[in-house]
């Protein structure tokens, strides 16, 4: 039987894989595992704007109340805001209903422990096991109540503006919040920090989240930056835990480049603890080379911001993230926060007077090709022919390249990633590996 939890909570197609009944049972189980034992449990819950979030958040809140919890409904908020408010309110745990960057038909449920921390695997396993618990639920005065929070967005915006290290005065920014959860919070935070902000894709209707916009579709942002003569463009995803950027010439600045910029800024400020950046196996070889040249150490984890978070905590490090734009500034947040990342990136531009493209030039990416192969069974990567092909190509590329195959944590995909000194070589190797995966899968 496959594990219910993936790399980032429980995710699937809303009302098919992820039903209100599942949300109800999952939330009851979460309250049993994460709740207080000596008093009434307090839980906060938020969601992104997608239409199915209305029913799934309602079902989740009902499950929490059925388990006896006091539920604080935060409404539509970015994932990092829910994490922040879990800590700020002293709640026993938090719940976020969102499928992040996934298309609108999908949705998901993720949990934050007390303090706004993501759950380790063993706690998620305990929640899944508790779904089989048949202990009677509380009745009468033991039943929990659900109350709406008063202006939780304001508390989150105040936090973002407070941690901004210097004003963003003089910067013109185009912001694409992906018709998502940060449509209200992100532009207001940037404006209060001093930036002039132009917004696009800022009219969520429940159906258009991530649709040809945000961090997964940067074309519109590139065009808007050029059209408005902006200094930078910022792209968030649907729940605003990711941030990617565009420089004034319309060039993409990915998570690796952003981490390189922030790592150098933080080391200069004395806040890059251990002179270490934590990142995943997906980060480009160019990042390794740039950080090595700067004397900054890299700690490498598996794919997923939760593993970056774990290593940040274990080593008491202050910066980590992923090429995809999940970037964690652990002095200010307990999870990836796209708006916080944008503020810190823009603050570096404002403080130095340097263009984003100039700052990003510290990082020269090695050619990288990433191909998603749709499969019915992601265990195809363990097929002997696939393993042999990966080993053979890695041996041929040597230190000038890298091959990585991994299953998606949220979709029926195998991700084939190849880096090489020349892009045609990377494309050739990736095409051959895709063919091996497809043949093994057939």
Secondary structure string (H, E, C) spanning the chain: CCCCCECCEEEEEECCCECHHHHHHHHHHHHHHHCCCCCCCEEEEEECCCCHHHHHHHHHHHHHHHCCCEEEEEEECCHHHHHHHHHHCCCCEEEEECCCCCCCCEEEEEEEECCCEECCHHHHHHHHHHCCCCCCCCCHHHCCCEEECCCHHHHHHHHHHHHCCCCCCCCEEEEECCCCCCCCHHHHHHHHCCCEEEECCCCCCCCCCCCCCHHHCCHHHHHHHHHHCCCEEEEECCCCCCEEEEECCCCEECHHHHHHHHHHHHHHHCCCHHHEEEEECCCCHHHHHHHHHHCCEEEEECCCHHHHHHHHHHHCCCEEECCCCCEEECCCCCCCCHHHHHHHHHHHHHHHCCCHHHHHCCCCCCCEEEEEEECCCHHHHHCHHHHHHHHHHHHHHHHHCEEEEEECCCCCEEEEEEECCCHHHHHHHHHHHHHHHHHHHC
- Is 100 catalytic? The answer is yes
User: Lowest-pLDDT range, 234-238, 305-309, 337-341?
Assistant: 305-309
User: Lowest-pLDDT range, 48-57, 121-130, 194-203, 302-311?
Assistant: 302-311
The pLDDT value recorded for residue 44 is 98
The pLDDT value recorded for residue 341 is 98
Summarize the confidence of residues 86-114 as an average pLDDT.
97
- CATH annotation of 368-441: 3.30.310.50
The answer to whether the annotation marks 100 as part of a ligand binding site is yes
The answer to whether the annotation marks 241 as part of a ligand binding site is yes
The answer to whether the annotation marks 382 as part of a ligand binding site is no
Contact 209, 238 (CB under 8 A): yes
User: Does the pLDDT of residue 285 top 90, yes or no?
Assistant: no
User: Does the pLDDT of residue 70 top 90, yes or no?
Assistant: yes
Query: Residues spanned by CATH 3.40.120.10 within the chain?
Result: 10-150, 155-360
β-bridge partners, 105: none
The pLDDT value recorded for residue 442 is 67
User: Lowest-pLDDT range, 13-17, 198-202, 367-371?
Assistant: 367-371
Residue 1 — very low, low, confident or very high, per pLDDT cuts 50/70/90?
Answer: low
User: Does the pLDDT of residue 163 top 90, yes or no?
Assistant: yes
Residue 199 — very low, low, confident or very high, per pLDDT cuts 50/70/90?
Answer: very high
Residue 255 — very low, low, confident or very high, per pLDDT cuts 50/70/90?
Answer: very high
Contact 86, 94 (CB under 8 A): yes
The answer to whether the annotation marks 92 as part of a ligand binding site is no
Summarize the confidence of residues 247-269 as an average pLDDT.
98
The pLDDT value recorded for residue 342 is 98
The pLDDT value recorded for residue 157 is 98
Summarize the confidence of residues 26-36 as an average pLDDT.
98
HSE (side-chain half, CA atoms, 13 Å) at 136: 4
Reported CATH class of domain 10-150: alpha beta
pLDDT in tens, 364-404: 988 989 999 998 888 888 999 999 999 999 999 987 888 99
pLDDT in tens, 316-370: 999 999 999 999 999 999 999 999 999 999 999 999 999 999 999 999 988 989 9
User: Does the pLDDT of residue 48 top 60, yes or no?
Assistant: yes
Number of Cβ within 10 Å of residue 435's Cβ equals 12
Query: Residues spanned by CATH 3.30.310.50 within the chain?
Result: 368-441
Contact 94, 118 (CB under 8 A): no
- Please pick, among 27, 60, 98, 100, the residue that the annotation labels catalytic: 100
Q: Phi/psi of residue 146, each to 5°?
A: -120, 125
Q: What tokens appear for 426 in the block?
A: 């990377």
The pLDDT value recorded for residue 43 is 98
The closest alpha carbon to 418, from 409, 410, 428, belongs to 428
Give the angle subtended at the CA of 265 by the CAs of 260 and 266, to the nearest 5°: 100
- CATH annotation of 155-360: 3.40.120.10
The pLDDT value recorded for residue 151 is 87
């Amino acid at each position: 039987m496959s594990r219910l939890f993936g790399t980032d909570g429980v995710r699937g197609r809303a009302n098919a894989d992820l039903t209100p009944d599942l949300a109800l049972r999952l939330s009851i189980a979460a309250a049993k595992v994460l709740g207080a034992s000596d008093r009434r449990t307090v839980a906060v819950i938020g969601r992104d704007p997608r239409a199915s979030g209305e029913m799934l958040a309602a079902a989740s809140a009902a499950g929490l109340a059925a388990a006896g919890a006091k539920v604080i409904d935060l409404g539509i908020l970015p994932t990092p805001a829910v994490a922040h408010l879990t800590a700020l309110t002293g709640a026993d745990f938090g719940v976020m209903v969102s499928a992040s960057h996934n298309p609108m038909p999908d949705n998901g449920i993720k949990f934050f422990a007390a303090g706004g921390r993501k759950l380790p695997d063993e706690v998620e396993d305990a929640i899944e096991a508790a779904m089989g618990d048949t202990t009677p639920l509380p009745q009468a005065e033991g039943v929990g109540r659900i109350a709406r929070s008063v202006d939780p967005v304001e508390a989150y915006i105040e936090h973002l503006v407070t941690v901004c290290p210097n004003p963003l005065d003089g910067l013109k920014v185009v912001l694409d919040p992906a018709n998502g959860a940060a449509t209200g919070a992100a532009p207001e935070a940037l404006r209060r920090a001093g930036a002039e902000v132009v917004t696009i894709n800022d009219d969520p209707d429940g159906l258009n989240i991530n649709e040809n916009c945000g961090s997964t579709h940067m074309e519109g942002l590139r065009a808007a930056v050029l059209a408005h003569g902006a200094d930078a463009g910022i792209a968030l995803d649907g729940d605003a835990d990711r941030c990617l950027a565009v420089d004034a010439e319309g060039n993409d600045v990915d998570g690796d480049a952003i981490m390189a910029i922030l790592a150098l800024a933080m080391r200069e400020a004395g806040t890059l603890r251990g002179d270490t950046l934590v990142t995943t196996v997906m980060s480009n070889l160019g990042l390794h080379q740039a950080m090595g040249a700067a004397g900054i150490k890299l700690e490498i984890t598996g794919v997923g911001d939760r593993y970056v978070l774990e290593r940040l905590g274990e080593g008491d490090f202050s910066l980590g993230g992923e090429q995809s734009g999940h970037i964690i500034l652990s002095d200010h947040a307990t999870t990836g926060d796209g708006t916080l990342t944008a503020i810190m990136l823009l603050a570096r531009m404002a403080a130095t007077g340097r263009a984003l493209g100039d700052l990003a030039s510290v990082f020269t990416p090695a050619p990288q090709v990433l191909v998603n192969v749709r499969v019915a069974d992601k265990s195809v990567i363990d097929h002997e022919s696939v393993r042999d092909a990966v080993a053979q190509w890695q041996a041929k590329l040597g230190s000038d390249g890298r091959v990585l195959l991994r299953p998606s944590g949220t979709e029926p995909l195998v991700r084939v990633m190849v880096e090489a000194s020349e892009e045609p070589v990377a494309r050739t190797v990736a095409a051959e590996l895709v063919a091996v995966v497809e043949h093994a899968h057939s």
